[in-house]
Structure 1
Amino acid sequence: MADNQSTIALNIGTQRVSMAVFEPSKSGALVLKAYDAESILADPASEAVRAAQISNAISSLVSRAGVKGKVRYSISGQSVFIRFVKLPPLDDDDVEQLVAFEAQQHVPFPLDEVVWDYEILEAAGEKEVVIVAIKGDALDEINESVNDTGLGTAEVDVAPMALYNAFRASYPQLDEPVLLIDVGAKTSDLLYIEGDRFFTRSAAVGGSAVTTAISKEFDVPFSEAEAHKTQNGLVALGGGHTEQLDEATAALAMSIRNAMTRLATEIPRTTNYYRSQHNGNAPKHVYLAGGGVNLPYAKEFFEEKLRLPVDYFNPLAAISLGKGVDGDRVSKEAHMMGELIGLGLRGVGKSKLNIDLVPTKVGEARAAEKRKPFLIGAAALLVGGAALAGLFRMQAASKAEKQAASADAQFEELKPLAKSIKDAADKEVALSKIASQYVNAEEARNYWSDVYRELSTAFASEAIWFTDFSPVAGYSPFGDKAQTGEPVIKDEFPSLPYGQSALNDITVETGRDSRGKTAPSAQVNAIHVRGYWLNKKGVTSNIVFEMIKRLQENIDDGNSHFTFTIKNKGKAQKLEPSQIAPSVQSDPAEGAFAAAFELVLPLAEPIDYR
């Protein structure tokens, strides 16, 4: 079906794989010639067969569409590392070198192990770069699933960037700051768009989190919970919305609302981060995209929580529908087609952002294609040169002798400069170390913000609040000498004079040095949290342990800074709830309206603080 002018677009999500074929019209507009989609069950228990499920879904779409050739496809935002970095004012000739340096500092893997690309963003006189990276072996695995269906690879984009391109083409006159919420299966991408300014961040809450909540609430398998959600589910609203529903439907709606509230709680925090760290403006309008907003009353839920006008994203304004396309289906699923339309715009050169993550095989093929003219030319020169070799051999030998003598003279002339070059190189290394210290300090600051954000999201409830958040060292929950750890930060740190350290001198028996003396611990390995739970109707001290279960869900999903499994005598041992929450008052003190609790939450990776 596809020809050289067609663009085959493929969006690979966790729970849904969709395909579209576009062709340019005579006027240059983008025409949708075919559209189809396949669903995949996003059960966390089936993660091992995810690649096979995706490959089967792509094969089914290719077979039904009858397409062949090269495809432009996008991968989910959760699969990649995205970082926005502001650049100093530099000449264009220096930008590429500076971006490579920034990539080394921000990408959490060696650059030779990742595939990465970048795009320059210029807005309000500032120059910013978005860096996108993915582990090379992970990209190759995805690309193999695509190529196994008979399709080649033209370009690999990332879902948030493709979605941004579709939004800009669909709402070209929109200047006010907006938030585009793309609710996927595992994560939700939050896109902040205002003019040429763009920022995106992922929240670890999606459709599968809603299904998991239903599965646990009603004690049913994941597949059955997914069926309940899609067939009977709706989002409960405030103000007695569920009073008109039957008991089972009302319970299902409240379970969905509680899970969606985790996402709604994350959005204001991300907005504050965007405003404070990237000088952005708060959104004045919200658009919804993705399969996770298909539930009835999802739009009204976000209007209630965000207190902003909310609409479904409609990217169809950027395209025309060709003959034979099911217009009713396309209109119904328009809010899930943004990535496909963004990829189609890449095919006709009308995209604002152009990220291309190049798989290993594609890179090798492109390099070979570039070398082909040179190899043909070299072969021709070799044949012709053989005839002239004898004639020029004597002349070449004489010329080589003169060049050798000239090279020796230049070597002696440049030899005194070697020390200066070495000194300059040493200075560069020293400056690079200093720069790395600043970069590490910034990353550490962001780390603690992310830790607190995760904790606040897991404990999002009107009946719980925190009063103290303290990193501790030397936490050891097992054995006769079990310890909850010692606080790293001094209690009096707000009133300390400028220049005086706010860190406690902590000595924990973590081993002995070469002189037999106790070696001090310089690592934070747990967080000590104090707070209160509100004593009101229907709320008991069990709410603290319910919130701990929420945090456990993040840990189980692999998206947490914490761990509840600690090595004890060489064996992994899961902590008991009483170890995680060593102190939880069952009732408030006399005359009080809230009861205190304490948590000790081990970090998955200890953090150096010296």
Structure 2
Amino acid sequence: MADPQSIITLNIGSQRVSMGLFSQSKDGGLILKKYDTTTILADPAADMTRLPQIRVAIAELASKLGVSKAKVDYAISGQSVFTRFVKLPALDSDNIEQLVTFEAQQHVPFPINEVIWDWQKLDVPGAEQEVVLVAIKSDALDEINDCVFEAGMDTGSVDAAPMALCNAFRMNYPDLDEPALLIDIGARTSNLIYMEGKRIFTRSISIGGSTVTTAIAKEYNVPFTEAESQKCTNGMVALDTRHTSQMDELTGALATCIRTALNRMPAEIARTTNYFRSQHGGNAPKRVFISGGGSNLPNIVEFFQEKLRLPVEKFNPLKRVSVGQGVDVDRVSVEAHLLGELVGLALRHVGKAQLAIDLVPDVVQAKRDDARRKPYLIGAAAIIIASFGGLFAYQASKSASEESQYKKAAKRVQELEQFARPIESATKNEEKISEVVGKYLSAHDGQAYWLGAINEVKTNFADPYVWVVDFDPIVNYSPDEVKDGEVTGRSAIKDDFPKTESGKSSMASIALAEPEFDSKGRRNRDYVAPMINAVRIKGLWRGQNGSSKVNSMAEKFNQESEYFTFTMEVKDGERGNKTKTITLPTNKVVVENQTSLNDNYAAPFTVILPLKQPIPLKK
């Protein structure tokens, strides 16, 4: 059993589960007394066994550290949570919580009653306010929390790994006055954490250690577990041909395969940096730190220095943390970069965490509420018992004064009635203001959404022999209504929009439709507002294999898009007005793609991409 004053932290990653035991020093700092770590199988084909592996790993670590049946604060990986940084207009603190709740309903891609979410206001310069929203599906969080409970531990706070890493970084590098990027390379995803003064921004990308292992398994046609073993035993990142020429043929080929698998990461970093600068007012990083299990690959520091052209070093979360006698100093010096989440979680107990996100499961929140109410219930019971003793005397005196109090109350009510109408009028004005603010926020969100979607199209069609010539939003698109490469859904833009005069709308008339009403002024319940639910992209290609390139580019949107999807709801002809969900094949998305150039300079193609978040059109 752990000391009641001990701080127990747990990091549940996709491949590594770590646990740390801390205490607070006399000066308010942290002392690492014990820690241990274990790995679980990260093979995507073995996902069904992941939760049992986590449960066993937590139980083993708790037993080794001697902290069974204690309360633990744990962090969940960035891939499991949804994180969004949202800008808000300047509002009083009394109104910000209501606005944040509205923003959460707009940004979280699940019904708000199906997620556990939390938020925190960020201290950023400028007139606008900024908050970070973090959410996780309730059932996914319950599964992880059940693993913790079944392993014999009790839940304290629940944080997201990127937020814990932010806290650890801020504490260990307080004097860093230039923009920095922390790249946390996990098994399935990597967290990109930008820090500039008090400004932060995080994004998870689907590139990690498993990406490298999968590439090795595919290249050498071996099982995932064997590829993982080869990566950990003989793997390194190739730097250049001169570097690989000094190796034996097998080692050089393996190093080249690993470098190829990692080559996407610098491009994702550049893309995220541009978004951070354009949408959040940040600056490009001047220093780079790396952490996580993926940073153990030899030469990975040199790889990022070459690609990013910035100084790169491994993150040390123990820079300002004391190490107790029970810790193997040699081991911790090698593995320090893996302990950032544990340190970040422990900082909340000593009051040095700048971010305090708590994704507490409903069952844990219910226990907290019961514990919070318990003292009041005991006190209330004592008061009730004591009250019975004086009840008789009080009742006798109360009857005599009731009539007098009633008269005073009636007079006071009459005085207050003069204020009722102004208050009712102010309430109506508040509702009108809220409606205007809501429209403003909706327009702002739509603008940011389109910028992101256009940027994603630009990134995925980035090829010198493929270019886009038209980007057309489509209203009420249905894949079953595609004929000869055309859709019956209307374009949201006028055909002659280049000739539209300044100040006049370029939206097609369908975008200005109003709800239908019958002769008695009753609204048609079957009316569905026009929705932009797809975009039509037209372009041209040249060169060899241009047609197949277009198909591959379209598939990128299906695999990793934030804005587009191959899955959508359509009318079910066999069930009346009901709908069904279908997954579109590539030939339903790439509706036109000339297979050869013939005698033309370039060949045309047309791609219709459904939107993940359809946008309503109304006056």
The two structures have a TM-score, normalised by structure 2, of 0.84
2:323 paired residue number: 321
1:121 paired residue number: 122
**CA distance, structure 2, for counterparts of residue 398 and residue 18 of structure 1:** 70
Q: Please say if residues 476 and 482 of structure 1, whose CA atoms lie closer than 8 Å, have aligned partners that are also in contact.
A: no
Residue correspondence of structure 1 range 512-527 to structure 2 within 5 A: 522-527=530-535
Which deviations, in whole Å up to 9, do the C-alpha atoms of 1:79-127 show, x marking residues without a partner?
334333445666xxx4254133223223436666554444343344665
Q: Does 1:95 align with 2:97?
A: no
Residue correspondence of structure 1 range 347-426 to structure 2 within 5 A: 347-415=349-417, 417-426=419-428
Between 21-30 and 115-124, the greater mean CA deviation after superposition: 115-124
C-alpha displacement at 1:8, in angstroms?
0.5
Sort the Cα spacing of 1:151 and 1:263 in 2 relative to 1 into closer, same or farther, 3 A: same
**CA distance, structure 2, for counterparts of residue 244 and residue 584 of structure 1:** 46
Q: Does 1:499 align with 2:503?
A: yes
Residue correspondence of structure 1 range 139-538 to structure 2 within 5 A: 139-215=141-217, 221-237=223-239, 253-415=255-417, 417-459=419-461, 464-473=466-475, 475-478=477-480, 481=483, 483-485=485-487, 486-490=490-494, 492-493=496-497, 496-505=500-509, 522-533=530-541, 535=543
Sort the Cα spacing of 1:122 and 1:381 in 2 relative to 1 into closer, same or farther, 3 A: same
Q: Does 1:603 align with 2:611?
A: yes
**CA distance, structure 2, for counterparts of residue 359 and residue 474 of structure 1:** 39
Q: Please say if residues 475 and 484 of structure 1, whose CA atoms lie closer than 8 Å, have aligned partners that are also in contact.
A: no
C-alpha displacement at 1:20, in angstroms?
0.7
Sort the Cα spacing of 1:356 and 1:532 in 2 relative to 1 into closer, same or farther, 3 A: same
The residue type equivalent to 2:80 in the other structure is S
**CA distance, structure 2, for counterparts of residue 254 and residue 587 of structure 1:** 34
Q: Does 1:554 align with 2:552?
A: no
Between 150-159 and 566-575, the greater mean CA deviation after superposition: 566-575
Sort the Cα spacing of 1:449 and 1:41 in 2 relative to 1 into closer, same or farther, 3 A: farther
Q: Please say if residues 291 and 315 of structure 2, whose CA atoms lie closer than 8 Å, have aligned partners that are also in contact.
A: yes
1:24 paired residue number: 24
2:551 paired residue number: 545
2:566 paired residue number: 563
Q: Please say if residues 11 and 75 of structure 1, whose CA atoms lie closer than 8 Å, have aligned partners that are also in contact.
A: yes
2:102 paired residue number: 104
SS at match of 1:201: strand
**CA distance, structure 2, for counterparts of residue 307 and residue 342 of structure 1:** 29
Q: Please say if residues 103 and 131 of structure 1, whose CA atoms lie closer than 8 Å, have aligned partners that are also in contact.
A: no
Sort the Cα spacing of 1:454 and 1:393 in 2 relative to 1 into closer, same or farther, 3 A: same
Q: Does 1:39 align with 2:28?
A: no
SS at match of 2:192: strand
1:2 paired residue number: 2
**CA distance, structure 2, for counterparts of residue 338 and residue 203 of structure 1:** 19
Q: Please say if residues 84 and 131 of structure 1, whose CA atoms lie closer than 8 Å, have aligned partners that are also in contact.
A: yes
Sort the Cα spacing of 1:607 and 1:213 in 2 relative to 1 into closer, same or farther, 3 A: farther
C-alpha displacement at 1:171, in angstroms?
1.5
| Unaligned ranges ≥5, structure 2 | 575-579
C-alpha displacement at 1:59, in angstroms?
1.4
Which deviations, in whole Å up to 9, do the C-alpha atoms of 1:299-344 show, x marking residues without a partner?
2332233222211111121212222322333222222211111112
Sort the Cα spacing of 1:50 and 1:500 in 2 relative to 1 into closer, same or farther, 3 A: farther
C-alpha displacement at 1:414, in angstroms?
3.4
Sort the Cα spacing of 1:251 and 1:552 in 2 relative to 1 into closer, same or farther, 3 A: farther
Q: Does 1:80 align with 2:81?
A: yes
Q: Please say if residues 116 and 133 of structure 1, whose CA atoms lie closer than 8 Å, have aligned partners that are also in contact.
A: yes
**CA distance, structure 2, for counterparts of residue 265 and residue 316 of structure 1:** 30
Which deviations, in whole Å up to 9, do the C-alpha atoms of 1:361-404 show, x marking residues without a partner?
33333333333332332232223222222222111223334333
**CA distance, structure 2, for counterparts of residue 258 and residue 533 of structure 1:** 26
C-alpha displacement at 1:9, in angstroms?
0.8
Sort the Cα spacing of 1:506 and 1:207 in 2 relative to 1 into closer, same or farther, 3 A: farther
C-alpha displacement at 1:151, in angstroms?
1.8
SS at match of 1:42: coil
SS at match of 2:399: helix
SS at match of 2:57: helix
C-alpha displacement at 1:589, in angstroms?
6.5
**CA distance, structure 1, for counterparts of residue 543 and residue 30 of structure 2:** 59
**CA distance, structure 2, for counterparts of residue 142 and residue 157 of structure 1:** 12
The residue type equivalent to 1:103 in the other structure is T
When the two chains are superposed, the root-mean-square deviation of aligned CA atoms in Å is 3.6
C-alpha displacement at 1:176, in angstroms?
0.8
Sort the Cα spacing of 1:171 and 1:579 in 2 relative to 1 into closer, same or farther, 3 A: same
The residue type equivalent to 1:543 in the other structure is K
| Unaligned ranges ≥5, structure 1 | none
**CA distance, structure 1, for counterparts of residue 162 and residue 14 of structure 2:** 14
**CA distance, structure 1, for counterparts of residue 550 and residue 483 of structure 2:** 26
Sort the Cα spacing of 1:248 and 1:27 in 2 relative to 1 into closer, same or farther, 3 A: same
**CA distance, structure 2, for counterparts of residue 244 and residue 541 of structure 1:** 40
- Number of residue equivalences: 596
**CA distance, structure 1, for counterparts of residue 600 and residue 482 of structure 2:** 38
Sort the Cα spacing of 1:442 and 1:564 in 2 relative to 1 into closer, same or farther, 3 A: same
SS at match of 1:601: strand
Which deviations, in whole Å up to 9, do the C-alpha atoms of 1:214-233 show, x marking residues without a partner?
55555555444444444444
The residue type equivalent to 2:184 in the other structure is D
**CA distance, structure 1, for counterparts of residue 208 and residue 528 of structure 2:** 43
Sort the Cα spacing of 1:121 and 1:216 in 2 relative to 1 into closer, same or farther, 3 A: same
Which deviations, in whole Å up to 9, do the C-alpha atoms of 1:246-282 show, x marking residues without a partner?
6666665555444433332222222222222222221
Which deviations, in whole Å up to 9, do the C-alpha atoms of 1:153-207 show, x marking residues without a partner?
2222221221111112221221111111122233322211122222223334333
Which deviations, in whole Å up to 9, do the C-alpha atoms of 1:23-52 show, x marking residues without a partner?
223444422111111222334444444433
C-alpha displacement at 1:577, in angstroms?
3.8
Q: Please say if residues 564 and 601 of structure 1, whose CA atoms lie closer than 8 Å, have aligned partners that are also in contact.
A: no
SS at match of 2:263: helix
Q: Please say if residues 529 and 617 of structure 2, whose CA atoms lie closer than 8 Å, have aligned partners that are also in contact.
A: no
Q: Please say if residues 183 and 293 of structure 1, whose CA atoms lie closer than 8 Å, have aligned partners that are also in contact.
A: yes
1:581 paired residue number: 590
SS at match of 1:281: coil
Which deviations, in whole Å up to 9, do the C-alpha atoms of 1:451-484 show, x marking residues without a partner?
3444455455566444433323354444784653
**CA distance, structure 2, for counterparts of residue 605 and residue 27 of structure 1:** 50
2:577 paired residue number: none
**CA distance, structure 2, for counterparts of residue 477 and residue 121 of structure 1:** 43
